[in-house]
Amino acid sequence: MAGVGRGHGERRREAMDELEWRAVTRQNVHELRAFNAGVFPVRFAESLYQRVLDGCAARPASAQLVSHARRVVGALCCCAEEKGERAPRLYVAVLGVAAAYRGRGIGGMLLSRAVELAEQLGAESMYLHVQQDNDEAMDFYTKRGFHVAKTIPNYYARLEPSAAYELQRSACLVTSPIIN
């Protein structure tokens, strides 16, 4: 039987070998919507998807789908935010991995791609939001160099708790390496 007697490392290698990476396009943005609906407790605004498509036209690495056996198992969506004269910041709007695929290094690979994008853009930092009680996400991000920059009360209108942490880290791999 497949999977019997295989160790965690063997399953992880097998999953990595069979991953397909694709840029989000108008033809597959419905897959991103479906993935987000199944993984995240919030419904993303249509404006996010339009922003992703606009950004991907110029920079395909800014939004990626990761598939295994033709099923989307991970997603990444980033947006550069210009701040006048200062270097831009990279906002990680979506970084998610399907529950059955967590612990296989996919999240770390997605985050590495976000850091590479931030470096290409000349961004000094990157940031994202995490629901205040999402301990799994907090552990993932803090192990990878993020820290709580601030707490935003009532960030999530339809969730309890409604507060979010804004997490931030340097965009430089040298000062904040990614651990898979």
Residue 3 lies in a domain: no
Residue 59 lies in a domain: yes
Q: Is 8 a catalytic residue?
A: no
Q: Is 111 helix (H, G, I), strand (E, B) or coil?
A: helix
**11-69 pLDDT, tens per residue?**
555 556 789 999 999 999 999 999 999 999 999 999 999 988 888 767 877 999 999 99
Q: Give the total number of structural domains in the chain.
A: 1
Question: What global pTM score does this model have?
Answer: 0.85
Residue 119 lies in a domain: yes
Q: What is the rounded average pLDDT of the residues 75-83?
A: 88
Residue 114 lies in a domain: yes
Residue 13 lies in a domain: yes
**Residue 108 sits in a domain of what CATH number?**
3.40.630.30
Of the residues 68, 127, 129, 155, only one is catalytic, namely 129
pLDDT of residue 141: 97
DSSP string, 127-140: EEEEETT-HHHHHH
Q: Is 147 a catalytic residue?
A: no
Sign of CA dihedral 154, 91, 17, 10: negative
